[in-house]
Structure 1
Amino acid sequence: MPAPDPSMFTREDLNIISYNVKGLNVREKRTRLLRDLKQYRTSIAFIQETHFQENRAPALKDRNFRTGYFSNNPDRRTQGVCILFSSRIPYIEQATLRCKQGRFIFTKGTISDQTYTFANIYAPNTKQYHFLRSTVASLMKFTEGTLIIGGDLNLALHPDQDATSPQGATPQNRHAKTLRLLHQHQLADYWRALHPTARDFTFYSSAHLTYTRLDYFLMTHHNLNLLNAAEILPMTWSDHCPIRMRLKSPLYRPRQMSWRLNESILSDVVVT
């Protein structure tokens, strides 16, 4: 049997979404989220604040997203994170690590024989640095292959660019210590890498009338060559904007072949 013609296939990006949804216990919100993920042609979704309680969590899946990994709060309908994989993505899990309080989930495995580690993080709104230091330490011990971090850090990494007013409740050294932590592990803010001088935001606080960029994708510096795009999507039904990143991947999909009429046949004389 002849090998497939390579020209009939094209590379398929990993289209990754991170979204703080502020609770999914209402069925209509789960339906809308899954519909939005399909509309965005999402490959992998990092979801924060599901508010699912352990042993009482509703289903979050459909025919487009059959595989999901969840970390739920054991006592209350609060916090909660999950990672959803599109049915198009041939992810084979090797191991998964869950936070007992629903603050993070890590899963590692392969996609087309390439190893990835996916980490979804939802930081608290106080003592962010201490939480991230502990979480990143656990993540680095767990990580294999290409590391992709997404989530809500509850912190503007650069307040002068990432917030419309100074974050008075957040000590300035917390920003600096967090940046040093990321630098120590060679982690880069991939949206900022593509938009070094831009000011854009992912969260609106009606109480403080401020906009802040709290939601991030982080990867190591040496994987910047995989980045095709990073963007902040419009805010709709949550108080956070979804964010999207497109990465080169080992996946291929059939190329859409365009059909064109050979116009010369229209001038042929038909003999009757």
Structure 2
Amino acid sequence: MSNTKITTLNVKGINHVIKRRKVLSMLKKDGVQIALLQETHLTNLEHLKLKRDWVGQIYYSFFNSKSRGVAILIHKNLALTVDKVIQDADGRYILVTGLLYGEKILLGSVYAPNTFDSSFYSKFLAEVSSVSSTHILIGGDFNCGLTPSTDYNPPKTQAPSKMTRATIELCSDLSLFDAWKICNPRTKDFTFFSRPHLSFSRIDFLFVSRSVLDRTRVCSINPCVLSDHSSVSMEFLPPYLDPLSRHWRLNPTLLNDPLFVKYLEDQWKLYISKNDLPEVSASTLWEAGKAYLRGSIISYTAAKKKKTLARQLELEQLIATLEGDFKQSHAIAVLGKLDAARSALDQLLTQNAQTAIFYAKHRLFDSGNKPGRLLA
């Protein structure tokens, strides 16, 4: 049992199937149970394509395929019963209320305008205020920092903008707190880098009510990998259920790998040399051999998966380190290394996404017209 993990991320458009898969795979790898996405750039039907793999429920508000669009993805094993959904016609926010382990909760994904619009804040405040909820958790891209001196680099010296004041008033009216700032009071970090201006800003937030803040265990800003924004994640109680198990099947693509074939041959020769004895019948030798090879294949694939994951974590750590160095130095050489590391990670995630899509097509072909969960 572990804490419930929530992540907010401006994905900057996920029209392409590969990028959608990479985003879903990254969220799955990070163990996210609730994902708050902004700038999905998806239509009604395309939003439904996000209901794949670990996603059990999806709620969204769309605008068009070129801009805006927000979504909330709920893990299939999360015990959330939804009773009300509020959608913004302009694709700026989506609000979901329901019961999470017997407690009322309100979830919101917000993509605020990048220029001041008083009607947006008043309308959003009215929508949230109309819902009675014990716990409130709203995340998104608010397109402004709350503190000009610490949420921007280089820091801003002028008075807070209208958007900043409106966001602060919104949080005050709803009694919401900046989860990351509360959990990291002495840390200075950012979620967005503007290449034209060579400036950093913290404009992505997780705003929570006091009841959620009291249960929050950790809140962090993650490395910027799949978008021009960094995701913000937090963990809070209550826990979620363990995922369901599934039966093992051989990955046939491994047979195209010469190293795997050589490994399999060596394992079979080793097994025969140790077990091909006069007192062992051919049928027993064969049945036991299949079990031995199954264990060997599982061991090989587990090691390969661990190696790939280690490489991914290594690249993510390198990106986080280079981002920290670049935020301090603004050196072009560091930026070049950062771009190279992001490109390497992107290639790795693309390969994983293509593999996952292949298996999804395989499952659909294999059982699409048979009575079962897919047909139902």
Q: TM-score range by the shorter chain?
A: 0.7 to 0.9
Work out whether 1:81 is the aligned partner of 2:70: yes
Would you say 1:28 and 2:12 are equivalent positions?
A: no
Instruction: Tell me the percent identity.
Output: 29
Q: Contact conserved, 1:25 with 1:58, CA < 8 A, in 2?
A: no
The more displaced of 83-92 and 122-131 is 122-131
Of 18, 35, 60, which residue of structure 1 is paired with 2:50? 60
Aligned to 1:246: 235
Which string of whole-angstrom CA distances, capped at 9 and with x for unpartnered residues, describes residues 74-102 of structure 1?
Answer: x5531000000111102211010000011
Aligned to 1:196: 185
TM-score (norm 1): 0.82
Does residue 97 of the first structure (1) align with residue 113 of the second (2)? no
Is 2:164 the partner of 1:175? yes
- The answer to whether the 8 Å contact 2:93/2:108 transfers is yes
Contact 2:5 2:32 in 1 (8 A): yes
Q: Where has structure 1 moved over 3 Å in runs of 4 or more? A: 54-58, 166-174, 250-254
Residue 220 of structure 2 is matched in structure 1 by 231
Distance 1:56 1:232, change over 3 A: closer
Change in 2 beyond 3 A, CA 1:20/1:141? same
Matched, 1:41 2:25: no
Decide which structure has greater strand share.
1
> 1:130 and 1:99 mapped to 2: Cα distance?
12
Given the alignment of the two structures, is residue 70 of structure 1 paired with residue 60 of structure 2, yes or no? yes
TM-superposed CA distance for 1:239, in Å, is 0.1
Structure 1 residues 169, 142: closer, same or farther in 2, change over 3 A? Answer: farther
* Amino acid of the structure 2 residue aligned with 1:244: S
Write out per-residue CA displacement over residues 221-250 of structure 1, whole angstroms, 9 at most, x where no aligned residue.
344211111000111120001110101116
RMSD: 2.2
Asked if the contact 1:204/1:210 (under 8 Å) is kept, the reply is yes
Q: Which amino acid aligns with 1:157?
A: L
> What is the rounded CA distance, in whole Å, between the counterparts of 1:144 and 1:97 in structure 2?
14
Query: Which piece of structure 1 moves more, 126-135 or 181-190?
Result: 126-135
Q: Which is greater in Rg?
A: 2
Give the 3-state SS of the residue equivalent to 2:49 in structure 1. coil
Tell me, yes or no, if the aligned pair for 2:220 and 2:234 is still in contact at 8 Å: yes
Offset at 1:169? 10
How many pairs align?
A: 243
Classify 1:90/1:129 alpha carbon distance in 2 versus 1 (closer, same or farther; 3 Å): same
Paired position in structure 2 for 1:265: none
- The 1:223–1:70 alpha-carbon spacing in structure 2 relative to 1, beyond 3 Å, is closer
Range with bigger deviation, 105-114 or 128-137:
128-137
Q: Which of structures 1 and 2 has the larger relative contact order (alpha carbons within 8 angstroms, sep 6+)?
A: 1
In structure 2, distance between residues paired with 1:172 and 1:196? 23
SS in 2 for 1:191: helix
Matching residue's letter, 1:123: A
Which stretches in structure 2 are left out of the alignment for 5+ residues?
A: 244-376
Deviations 1:127-159 (A, max 9, x none): 156523331221111242211101110010111
Given the superposition, is the C-alpha separation of residues 168 and 161 from structure 1 closer, same or farther in structure 2, using an over 3 Å criterion?
Answer: closer
Query: 1:76 & 1:25 partners in 2: Cα distance?
Result: 8
Q: Give the secondary-structure state (helix, strand or coil) at the position aligned to 2:218.
A: strand
Assess, with a 3 A threshold, how the Cα gap between structure 1 residues 23 and 167 changes in structure 2: closer, same or farther. Answer: farther
